[in-house]
Amino acid sequence: MREIKLTTKIAVYPIAECSEMEKKLIEAAKEATKKAYAPYSGFKVGAAVLLENGEIIAGNNQENAAYPSGLCAERVTIFFANATYPDQRIEAIAVAAYHNGGFTDDVITPCGGCRQVLLETENRFNRAIKILLYGNESVYKFESAKDLLPFSFGDKMLK
Ligand code: THU
């Protein structure tokens, strides 16, 4: 028997230590929570992506009475960005959540489906995407979707 141990790297720092661009992206994600459609969970998530041309695109979760038909903020935002600018690489994404009258103290962590879509987007554009997860207490930064989804399934397996 042999064991495989997977490790991942996350930079944790207060918002004050973010670069100006990181602050701007996080602010756009926070702002986007205000337009979320989350009547069932009351959990409003905002995401903002930075394109290589410098443009920021924001989106939020869209729920549905038939629950599985809704979609997370990350996927709404990434799909909209890719649908609008299919040739623009996504360089970074920020995610924030508003719940019970305030932004969450803990960082919001993307679900498995969104991690898979982040990974696909990285592979599609052959560029690692920086992932900034916001919480009132700190910001978590991942250098790549691979750090959020180790041991993942990807296009190479289909070849
Ligand atoms: N949600 C997101 O939009 N992103 C996440 O990273 C986690 C969860 C949404 C889905 C649903 O509308 C609500 O939050 C509660 O799960």
Q: Give tens-digit pLDDT for 120-129.
A: 999 999 999 9
Read off the DSSP letter of residue 126. T
What the chain holds in terms of domains, given with CATH numbers, is: 15-133 (3.40.140.10)
Ligand 1 atom nearest the C-alpha of 38 is: 12
Ligand 1 atom nearest the C-alpha of 45 is: 3
Tell how far CA 90 is from the center of its chain.
11
**Structure confidence at residue 157 (pLDDT):** 87
Read off the DSSP letter of residue 133. E
Ligand 1 neighbours by CB, cut-off 6 Å: 38, 41, 43, 45, 61, 63, 70, 72-74, 108, 110-111, 114
| Ligand 1 pocket mutation, candidates 30, 41, 149, criterion most atoms within 8 A of CB | 41
Q: How far apart are CA 73 and CA 96, in angstroms?
A: 9
Q: Catalytic amino acids?
A: 74
**Structure confidence at residue 108 (pLDDT):** 96
Return averaged pLDDT per consecutive 10 residues of the chain, 159 residues in all.
Answer: 94 96 98 98 98 97 98 98 97 98 98 97 96 98 95 87
The partner residues of 102 in beta bridges, in order of sequence, read 99
Q: Is 151 helix (H, G, I), strand (E, B) or coil?
A: coil
Q: Give tens-digit pLDDT for 132-152.
A: 999 999 999 999 999 999 888
107 φ/ψ angles, rounded to the nearest 5 degrees: -65, 150
**Structure confidence at residue 159 (pLDDT):** 87
What average pLDDT does the chain have? 96
Q: How many CB atoms lie within 10 A of CB 132?
A: 24
